[in-house]
Amino acid sequence: MSIDKFEDICQSGLFLANATKFDDKQEGYIAVKSTFPDLTESNLQNVDKMKSYFYISSWYAGEDVSKSMGNIYGDICIKTSLDELKAVCKEHGVINCTHNIILGEIQYLLKPYADHGKTPNWVWDYWSEIGFNPKCGLNPASIKTLQGLFFKDADYSHENEVRLICDTFHGRNRGIDIESRIEGIRITLSKTFFSNVVLLNKEYKLRVNNVLKKFGYESEIEIVE
């Protein structure tokens, strides 16, 4: 990420962008349309509306960080673990009881998508862990939209992406109004969230160190030469 985005995360928490901001037709929507032939035309017309209830944070799943990644994403990488992600998601779910946080690996599909033979799944979600089953009248468009957000075209497979998705749709009928957050939502981070902060440009070391100290984060700084 950029240095400005890093400082923003340290100050305000992890940002999950509204899924409508992900407008590339090679992910999400095209997977819904092509891999779920049982959806009616009416259901498909609801996909964009359904996307507005989901919020996304994207992560790279891997240990190694290369200089070339800086040319695409920015000069700073924050490292964390699945356990740390789960911990902050649980805390968010307790405070925001209409939000279900889901963690899962992206599945990369080869064309034609309908023949990929995979089923969407994720490795963890908050509501399942606490045994909550929302009674809100699930509908095909909402479920397929959520599942589709874990599919992408195989051209993106180099991203090795894990997604953190906040589902605000399936808790909407619990008697609690969901505040409209078109741009996105925030998840508060623990002070031990970063296992390392990796710099692809050593000139940022002093600024990053000052930001970490300012907001009380405990993390080592690693520089990739």
What would the pLDDT profile of 71-118 be if each residue is shown by its tens digit?
778 899 999 999 999 999 999 999 998 899 999 999 888 776 666 666
Q: Would you state the structure tokens that stand for residue 93, as one six-digit string?
A: 């779910």
List C-alpha distances in Å: 61 to 53, 104, 163.
25, 11, 10
> What are phi and psi for residue 88, nearest 5 degrees?
-70, -30
Residue 36 falls within a domain, yes or no? yes
Percent of the chain whose predicted confidence (pLDDT) is above 70: 81
Dihedral angle sign, alpha carbons of residues 20, 25, 28, 30? positive
Q: What is the pLDDT of residue 69?
A: 77
Give domain status of residue 45, yes or no.
yes
Q: What is the pLDDT of residue 115?
A: 60
Asked if residue 219 is part of any domain, the answer here is no
Mention every residue, 6+ apart, whose C-beta is less than 8 A from residue 141. Answer: 39, 43, 44, 46, 47, 50
Q: Which of 165, 171, 119 is nearest to 144 (CA)?
A: 119
Residue 178 lies in a domain: yes
The pLDDT score that the predictor gives to residue 172 is: 60
Question: What is the predicted pLDDT for the residue at 175?
Answer: 43
Residue 219 and residue 106: Cα distance in Å, rounded?
28
Q: Is residue 143 situated within a structural domain?
A: yes
- Separation between Cα atoms, residue 69 and residue 41, nearest integer Å: 40
| Lowest-pLDDT choice from 42-51, 68-77, 100-109, 186-195 | 42-51
The reply to whether 216 falls in a domain is no
Average pLDDT estimate for 31-46: 69
Task: Give pLDDT, residue 34.
Answer: 67
Contact 159, 123 (CB under 8 A): no
Are the C-beta atoms of residues 221 and 205 closer than 8 Å to each other?
yes
User: Does the pLDDT at position 10 exceed 50?
Assistant: yes
Q: Render pLDDT for 118-167 as a digit per residue (tens, 0 to 9).
A: 667 789 999 989 988 776 555 667 777 888 888 888 888 888 999 999 99
As given in the structure block, the two tokens for residue 171 are 């808790």
200 within a domain of the structure (yes/no): no
**What residues make up the domain containing 49?**
14-194
- 1, 66, 173, 179, 213 from 139: Cα distances, Å: 36, 43, 13, 21, 47
In a domain, 120, yes or no: yes
pLDDT-based confidence at residue 31 (cuts at 50, 70, 90): low
Report pLDDT for 63.
77
For the chain, the domain total comes to 1
Largest CA distance in the chain: 56
Q: In the prediction, which pLDDT does 91 show?
A: 96
Q: What are phi and psi of 161, to 5 degrees?
A: -90, 140
